[in-house]
């Protein structure tokens, strides 16, 4: 098939492109900065196109002749606090993709959403839910994938906590009892390719979680043990968690935010288990994460050694 992918130049997208390439599909990846993503062009069957995906005429041109569109654009935080950043990426862009797909005669869209879409008070989940309503009402057949926290080499979950644990003997942790069901990026990618090979239906949604459910505190403490670090994980009360989010709203890069706090009030646990239907067994955290965390730790020690040697 000829597949056009929007938002596939990041962490999960790389896994999806690998899976599509193995299945023999031709992939066109639309990206705003092709030069920075040029390594993706080395993957089998992948073509990079620098494009403004918010421009309808660009989508019309790129979707022409495509068999399917993968909608994968998403953000965890916005620059402001009013939800407009989430709406632009999660709602307005999806609306544009569906309109262009309809005009181009694309038969189906595969969309990455999130567990809890449409629930709670966070702009993130509300905008995800609004996008799903657009997909359900569209004449284009839509398959929606709602993963829990996605992990794998290069992820922004375990790697971020590992970086914090390396520099801090005490880690103040917001929402320590939040429930999560981490799912391997390679499994999400395989699920999407498997569903692509099936006949399209008007609208279907799959919640994707790994084999185990954890609290956030358990996952952070486990990460510290894998790194061989003795750290105190100080779980914050709901009030202090909310305060941490409010303060972090003003930190560049927003490592945590008020909207993240609100999102974590909804359990990030899958309802249902589609894996057996696809003949798949989800990958455990313990079988993958230690390999890349320890490799990253060795690389960090080597970099520190080189910096020290350069000062001698």
DSSP symbols for 261-312: HHHTTS-B--SS--TGGGT--PPPSTTTHHHHHHHHHHHHHHHHHHHHHHH-
For the four alpha carbons of 12, 30, 49 and 84, in that order, the dihedral sign comes to negative
**Residue-level pLDDT, tens digit, the chain, 312 residues:** 999 999 999 999 999 999 999 999 999 999 999 999 999 999 999 999 999 999 999 999 999 999 999 999 999 999 999 999 999 999 999 999 999 999 999 999 999 999 999 999 999 999 999 999 999 999 999 999 999 999 999 999 999 999 999 999 999 999 999 999 999 999 999 999 999 999 988 999 999 999 999 999 999 999 999 999 999 999 999 999 999 999 999 999 899 999 999 999 999 999 999 999 999 999 999 999 999 998 865 565 554 444 444 544
The DSSP H or E segment spanning 19 is helix 11-22
Tell which residue, 239, 149, 214, 227, has the closest CA to residue 185: 149
The Cα–Cα gap between 288 and 269 comes to 20
3-state secondary structure of 257: coil
Yes or no: say if 189 and 15 are a contact pair by the CB < 8 Å rule: yes
CB 90 within 8 A of CB 71: no
Tokens coding 193? 């390719």
CB 229 within 8 A of CB 223: no
Q: Which residues pair with 141 in a beta bridge?
A: 108
So what's the pLDDT on residue 298? 58
pLDDT of 299 reads 60
**Helices and strands (H, E) in the chain, number of each type:** 11, 13
pLDDT at 297: 55
Domain ranges of the chain: 2-150+183-209+269-278
Q: How many degrees, rounded to 5, is the angle at CA 155 between CA 4 and CA 9?
A: 20
Buried residues in 110-136 as b, exposed as e (16+ CB within 10 A): bbbbbbbbbbbebbbbbbbbbbbebbe
DSSP E strand boundaries for the chain = 2-6, 26-31, 46-50, 68-71, 108-112, 141-147, 150-151, 170-173, 179-180, 183-184, 203-208, 214-215, 232-235
**Where do the DSSP E strands lie in 51-114?**
68-71, 108-112
β-bridge partners, 215: 179
Q: Tokens 């030069």 identify what position? A: 35
DSSP state of 115: T
Question: 2-150+183-209+269-278: which CATH topology?
Answer: Rossmann fold (3.40.50)
Q: Which residues contact 102 (CB under 8 A, 6 or more apart)?
A: 138, 139, 140
- CA dist., res. 89 & res. 93, Å (int): 5
């Amino acid at each position: 098939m000829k597949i056009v992918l929007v938002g596939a130049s990041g962490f999960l997208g790389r896994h999806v492109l690998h899976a599509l390439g193995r299945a023999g599909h031709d992939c066109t990846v639309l990206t705003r900065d092709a030069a920075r993503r040029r390594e993706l062009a080395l993957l089998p069957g992948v073509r990079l196109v620098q494009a403004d995906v918010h421009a309808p005429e660009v989508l019309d041109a790129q979707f022409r002749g495509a068999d399917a569109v993968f909608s994968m654009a998403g953000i965890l935080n916005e620059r402001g606090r009013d939800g407009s950043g989430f709406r632009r990426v999660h709602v307005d862009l999806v609306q544009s993709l569906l309109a262009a797909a309809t005009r181009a005669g694309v038969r189906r869209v595969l969309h990455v959403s999130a567990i809890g879409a449409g629930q709670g008070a966070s702009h993130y989940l509300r905008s995800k839910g609004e996008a799903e309503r657009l997909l359900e009402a569209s004449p284009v057949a839509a398959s929606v994938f709602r993963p829990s926290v996605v992990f794998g080499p290069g992820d922004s979950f375990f790697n971020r906590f590992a970086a914090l644990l390396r520099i801090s003997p005490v880690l103040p942790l917001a929402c320590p009892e939040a429930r999560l069901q981490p799912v391997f990026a390679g499994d999400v990618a395989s699920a999407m390719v498997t569903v692509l090979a099936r006949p399209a239906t008007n609208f279907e949604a799959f919640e994707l979680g790994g084999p185990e459910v954890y609290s956030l505190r358990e996952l952070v403490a486990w990460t510290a043990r894998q790194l061989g670090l003795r750290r105190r994980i100080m779980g914050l009360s709901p009030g202090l968690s909310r305060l941490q989010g409010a303060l972090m709203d003003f930190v560049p890069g927003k490592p945590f935010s008020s909207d993240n706090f609100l999102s974590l009030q909804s359990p990030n646990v899958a309802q249902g288990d589609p894996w057996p239907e696809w003949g798949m067994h989800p990958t455990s955290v313990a079988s993958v994460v230690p390999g890349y965390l320890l490799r990253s730790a060795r690389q960090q020690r080597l970099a520190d050694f080189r910096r020290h040697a350069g000062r001698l």
